[in-house]
Structure 1
Amino acid sequence: MMYAYASQNGRLHRLGREADLSQALWIDLMVPTKEEIALTSALAVEIPTLADMEEIEISNRLYREDGADYMTAVLPGERADGQRKAMPVTFILSGQRLITVRHHSPRPFLTFPTRADRATLGCNTVDRVFAGLVEEIVARQADILESSGRVLDQVMTETIDLKSGRGTSDKLNAALRVVVREAELISQVRAGLLTIERMLAFFVATIDETAEAKKLRPMMRSQGRDVQALEVHADFLSSRVSLLVDTTLGMINLEQNSTVRILSVIAALFLPPTLIASIYGMNFDIMPELQWIWGYPMALCLMLGTSLATWLVLRWKNWL
């Protein structure tokens, strides 16, 4: 799918399917087809494949070719099948337009076209569109981290306040699954922030060649500081995840220990009666108690008495 936008009255206006792409200020390629790649390549820009975008070598992520800057960042988003995954997004900056190539849907690419006029520098030029899109992406990463922080706070509160009882283990297991999902999302954001920081450094290094260098440089440096602050926040949330995982696992162990303790107490209560029954179940010829009239009631009373004595000892030791 290809989306083309032009600047009109300080806003981004989406062009029709049959519009001339040479008039577009921003072309967004979402899982581009061969026809869309051919149309875009006619603008003297080479569109990288997904394999090229996934290449981890620095020379394949940040480079200049034929006067265009190619910058790739890894951003969390949603695939066509509904699965959330971090995938590479390539930003191609030429003198006339910005081209983005992606194979999933990070939310900033859906929200930015309607909010471009509210960006710090607006959207009148290609560099300002890029700066505004980066600003939207960084803000989205901050929102994701803030949302994950709220989820972790809720899980922590529920875990601490959870009372032992029926269904407690199921609730703890569910909480652990929630924490693992948030941990994966935080790690995706953390990796994305690292690639965004590298991309911003590359852009700032080449910004002197643009006509708006004086306005763009402070803006991009500010975004770089925001990224660094978000990296610290992501590291903090990661430490909270570790604490919450340890807490949840500890609660699960306590719940399991409580169950094992109950079973151990039951076994201890039945151990003396079992010993007595075993003694009188031996097949010896001379066992005087077998001939007593009160032998059977005596054995029952002895079993009950030993069980009661065991229970009193366990209570005295505060094991119950």
Structure 2
Amino acid sequence: MLTAYAPHLGGLAPLPHGEDPARGRWIDLYQPLDQQVRLMRGFGVEVPTLEDMEEIEISNRLYREGDLLYMTAVLPGEMPDGKPVAMPVTFILSPDRLVTVRHHAPRPFTTFPTRAERSASGVSGPDRIFLGLMEEIVARLADILEGVGKVLDQTGTHVFEDASNIRDVVLRAALIKIGRQSELMARVRLGLLSVERVLSFYTAAADDHPDAKRLQALAKSINRDVQALEVHADFLGSRLGMTVDATLGLINLQQNNTVRVLSVVAALFLPPTMIASIYGMNFDHMPELHWVWGYPMAIGAMVLSALGIYALARWKRWL
């Protein structure tokens, strides 16, 4: 799918269907078709394949071809079926337009056109549109981190406020929720790292731009936000680890309590079992077998021995 945007009333507006994409300052390619790739080739832009975008070498993700800058970042988003993923997005910056190539749906590509007029970069040129889009991406990553923090607050409060009465099923559900947030955090951290590299590359490559000083200042400002978010991500990562450890500790305590109760119950029946075993032996000389009170005496010994073990367990606070 190809969507072209042009500046309009201080923001960005999509060109009507059938309008020449060459009029667009930003062309967004979502899972591009062959004819769209050929169209971009006619503009002098070679669209990389998904395999090219997934190359992990920096030289394949950040490079210059003539007056074109190719910059690839790995961003969290969703597949068409709603599955959350982190996939590469390539930004191709030329003097005439910005071209983005993606195969999943990061939210900033939907929200940025409606908020472009609020961007500190403006939309007067492709470089400013690029920086505004990067600003929107960083803001989205910050929102995700804030959401992770709220989930951690809710989970921690739920787990720790009544830890003595919480059930195993609740703890397991909390552990699954924390695990999902950990996966989300990993995608955000990867996005922050790749965005920081993209901005550093752009800052170095923008030296020959007529408005280099202003653009580099904007890029460095966004990069400082990225670095602050990385510190926040480290803090949330430590909180995630602490919450996982605490939840696992509570699960272990509950399991230990269960095992302790079962052990005490087993100990209660050890003396009665021993007494029953003695009087179940088939020897000729067992005087108690011929006593009138032999049976009540054996039953009483079993009960008294079990009560003695129970009293000992209560005194030692094993129960």
Q: Considering the TM-score relative to the shorter chain, is it more than 0.5?
A: yes
**Aligned residue identity for 1:308:** L
Partner of 1:179: 178
Match of 2:301, SS state, is helix
Structural mapping, 1:192-231, within 5 Å: 192-231=191-230
Deviation at 1:298, TM superposition (A): 1.1
Contact 1:162–1:168, Cα closer than 8 Å, also in 2 = no
Matches of 2:292 and 2:40 in 1, distance apart?
105
Moved over 4 A (4+): none
**Aligned residue identity for 1:220:** A
Deviation at 1:208, TM superposition (A): 2.1
Partner of 1:74: 74
Deviation at 1:218, TM superposition (A): 1.4
Contact 2:192–2:230, Cα closer than 8 Å, also in 1 = yes
Contact 2:73–2:191, Cα closer than 8 Å, also in 1 = yes
Partner of 1:126: 126
Match of 2:269, SS state, is helix
Match of 1:146, SS state, is helix
Matches of 2:67 and 2:286 in 1, distance apart?
107
Deviation at 1:9, TM superposition (A): 2.1
Whether 2:83 is the aligned partner of 1:83: answer yes
Matches of 1:97 and 1:209 in 2, distance apart?
17
Q: With the length of structure 1 as denominator, give the TM-score of the two structures.
A: 0.97
**Aligned residue identity for 2:20:** D
Which sections of structure 2, spanning at least 5 residues, go unmatched?
A: none
Whether 2:38 is the aligned partner of 1:33: answer no
Contact 1:5–1:27, Cα closer than 8 Å, also in 2 = yes
Deviation at 1:66, TM superposition (A): 2.8
Partner of 1:12: 12
Matches of 1:41 and 1:162 in 2, distance apart?
63
Partner of 1:244: 243
Q: With the length of structure 2 as denominator, give the TM-score of the two structures.
A: 0.98
Matches of 2:13 and 2:107 in 1, distance apart?
19
* Identity across matched positions, percent: 58
Q: Deviations over 1:56-87 (max 9, x none)?
A: 11111000113100000000000112110110
- Paired residues, number: 319
CA RMSD of aligned residues (A): 1.1
**Aligned residue identity for 2:289:** L
Partner of 1:153: 153
Contact 1:155–1:175, Cα closer than 8 Å, also in 2 = yes
> Which stretch shifts more, 120-129 or 131-140?
120-129
Contact 2:163–2:250, Cα closer than 8 Å, also in 1 = no
Match of 2:86, SS state, is strand
Match of 2:47, SS state, is coil
Matches of 1:78 and 1:19 in 2, distance apart?
28
Partner of 1:52: 52
Q: Deviations over 1:10-68 (max 9, x none)?
A: 12110123111111100001111111111222111000000000001111100011310
**Aligned residue identity for 2:171:** L
Contact 1:108–1:137, Cα closer than 8 Å, also in 2 = yes
Matches of 1:293 and 1:201 in 2, distance apart?
98
Contact 1:25–1:126, Cα closer than 8 Å, also in 2 = yes
Q: Deviations over 1:188-237 (max 9, x none)?
A: 11111111111001111111222222321211111111101111111111
**Aligned residue identity for 1:209:** D
Structural mapping, 1:91-102, within 5 Å: 91-102=91-102
Partner of 1:296: 295
Match of 2:124, SS state, is coil
Match of 1:178, SS state, is helix
Contact 1:3–1:15, Cα closer than 8 Å, also in 2 = yes
**Aligned residue identity for 2:308:** A
Whether 2:266 is the aligned partner of 1:267: answer yes
Partner of 2:107: 107
Contact 1:78–1:105, Cα closer than 8 Å, also in 2 = yes
Partner of 1:191: 190
**Aligned residue identity for 1:109:** F
Matches of 1:317 and 1:302 in 2, distance apart?
22
Deviation at 1:163, TM superposition (A): 3.7
Matches of 1:140 and 1:186 in 2, distance apart?
13
